[in-house]
Structure 1
Amino acid sequence: MKLLKPILIALLFSAVTVHAESSSQLKQVPGYFLQPIGNLKVTALFDGEFGLPRSDLLGISSEKANQLFAESFVPVDEHNQIVTNFSAYLVQTPTQNILIDAGTAKCFGPSLGHVPENLKKAGVQPNQIDTVLITHAHPDHLCGISLDGKMLYPNAKVYLAKEDVDYWTSTRNEAKASNFFKPLFKMTRDALKPYQQAGQLVAFSKASFNVPNVQLITTHGHTEGHSSYLVDGQNGQKFLGLGDVVHYAAVQFPYPEASYKPDTDSKRAIAVRKNIFEQAYQNQWWIGAAHVAFPGIGHIGKNAKGYQWIPAQYRSEN
């Protein structure tokens, strides 16, 4: 027994050391989340995270907003900004591979730009995407269609509202823009250029939009042509790619009258938010919200204050 004791201690120490080493090497799971919706297979694709300034939230007191952030345990970054997730959505119908928004590529720094790698981890190659539906021309939704001047989705048609194409590719508008928005114009032109040259950009109007199984819902306000996309999963099941109707989820669901400073038309954006929340609630649509905590898939409900976000529940695949 005297001889066994030091051997047992050595084995125990070795096991603890191995466990500690393996634990330190653990990483977060790949950034995708699967959700079946009727005959659709919807995959949330994590692009990354970024801090949004508290000061960009308007129409509500800072005290009330901070209370809501604290009650919802919303994380903050080293600058005390609201940590916000950025996501895109792969929607697979029986005959289509649709990407709703495409992430940031290299436009917003190293904390973002992970949609393509997470798409591949989810088992889909970029050349399998046949349709890219862009909600609006801001870089965190559009830049990810291209990389270094080349198409990331070479077999896809890219759909973007004509109002956004016209506005965000205009050098005249660029010259008049504020310093905050001025860099976005070149980003938009660079992202769209290879698709324009290949004849694969569709700058649609409300009347001309035509994608099978998809209904256009105009949600103008955040940008001139902001659009949301309702995909039919049959048997009453529908998925809405919401875009940027919401930025600060902890505040704007209970208080949809709170607005985001960079909105092009804040009054219109508020009216759109209230309207789309009510439609989604009444129709029990599934939602994919780009800036709601990943995976950003769920439903919109109501409570005593206003609306509330009801996230999807994780379920294993059958």
Structure 2
Amino acid sequence: MRFHRLLLDSVAAVAALFSAALPLATEAASPATAGTSVAQRRAQVPGVYRYRVGDFQVTALSDGTVPQDLHVLLQGESPAEIDKMLHHAFLSNPVEASITAFLIDTGRRLILVDTGAGGLFGPGYGGKLLGSLKLAGYEPEQIDDILLTHIHTDHSGGLVSEGNRVFPNATVHVGRGDLDFFLNPANQGGVNGYDKKYFEEAVKTVGPYVKAGKVHAFSRETWLFPGIKAIPTPGHTPGHGFYRVESRGESITFIGDIVHVAAVQFPKTAITIVYDVRPSDAAAQRESQFAAAASDRALVAAPHLPYPGIGHIRAEERGYTFVPVDYRDRHEP
């Protein structure tokens, strides 16, 4: 099964469903209905949300959202039960997934956690990171380092544009397991049913940084910079990693794709997704990491939780829930 195509196929199906409603909007705006008030569709503005962690400023940067057909993508539970959990969360299939990158300004370095999808999902699906970055007041050339939670299209796609490095001065940090898996020439045809597109796009996005000598791999817990630690959490991919940021007694941990669908995978951590390289390991990692975060009352950030994806994990009688941070929009000295 070509797992990589499932998301694009589900996006196409959802787009076709939405487009079927367009004639109604056109009819409503036609001369025959002149004088009828019609609400105009307007695009969202780029997403920027700043959050302070000690002396560091963390900025959530939206790369956009994509619809996901969870009946196709999720494994380990029936569509009927998935729909039941979605209904409980006031959602219905397909569910919109955020794609969020995070910028860490330490005062000395500008560090980007993941880069979104770039143009690899096609027009209208992702690809908004640079607009969000500019709105936040930064240019790609200013980025010193990029921390990839893992090498998947929606995390590494924004590294390049037309084959060129988008962040020419940045060093990419990523788990050794992902480099060895996705950039291995022997794996370029796909591995055990895991679609070859994953490997082709890894070469396309991370490859130019490898050639430029701008990739640093880690294989164990490593302090990359003062206050920033890389923590291997394999399962979703062989080199999947967390990044823990600490400053003045405060912390935030970027948890990557430990979770894709909050309404489903928080209450039932055993439910996996077709993107998992090792589903059983991914489920076990999710349960252990959720338990640890809930026990520590740790602040976490995840790219596919509803934007800005920053909050806490709370243990329930069965499973867990995600509690977003309070929204703030005021001047703070």
Q: Give the TM-score of the pair, scaled to structure 2.
A: 0.82
Q: Which has the larger radius of gyration?
A: 1
SS in 2 for 1:244: helix
Q: Is 1:300 the equivalent of 2:317? A: no
SS in 2 for 1:141: helix
Between 191-200 and 98-107, the greater mean CA deviation after superposition: 191-200
Of the three residues 26, 36, 46, the one matched with 1:30 is: 46
How far, CA to CA, are the matches of 1:121 and 1:75 in structure 2?
Answer: 32
Q: Which amino acid aligns with 1:40?
A: F
**Aligned-pair distance for 1:176?**
4.0
Matches within 5 A, 1:88-167: 88-110=101-123, 111-167=125-181
For residues 45 and 176 of structure 1, the distance between their equivalents in structure 2, rounded to whole angstroms, comes to: 32
Equivalence map 1:242-261=2 (5 Å):
242-261=255-274
- Name the % identity: 33
Unaligned runs of 5+ in 2: 1-35
Map of 1:15 onto structure 2: none
1:230 aligns with 2:247: no
- The answer as to whether partners of 2:272 and 2:282 remain within 8 angstroms in 1 is yes
Shift of 1:73: 2.2
**Aligned length, in residue pairs:** 294
- Measured in 1, the distance between the counterparts of 2:219 and 2:268 equals 31
Is 128-137 or 25-34 further displaced after alignment?
25-34
1:194 maps to: 208
Q: Which residue of 2 aligns with 1:42?
A: 58
Spell out structure 1 runs of 4+ moving beyond 6 A. none
**Cα distance per residue 1:60-97 (max 9 Å; x no partner):** 33222111112212354xxxx32211111111123221
How far the C-alpha of 1:208 sits from its partner, in A, is: 6.1
Deviations 1:261-305 (A, max 9, x none): 221111111111111112212222221111111111111112232
Deviation at 1:312, TM superposition (A): 1.8
AA of the residue aligned to 1:55: V
The Cα shift of 1:226 comes to 0.6
- Contact 1:93-1:233 within 8 A present in 2 as well: no
**For residues 232 and 326 of structure 2, what CA distance do their matches in structure 1 show?**
29
More moved, 239-248 vs 59-68: 59-68
| TM-score normalised per structure 1 | 0.86
> CA separation of 1:259/1:119 partners in 2, compared to 1, >3 Å: closer, same or farther?
same
Alpha carbons of 1:220 and 1:177: their partners in 2 closer, same or farther (altered >3 Å)? same
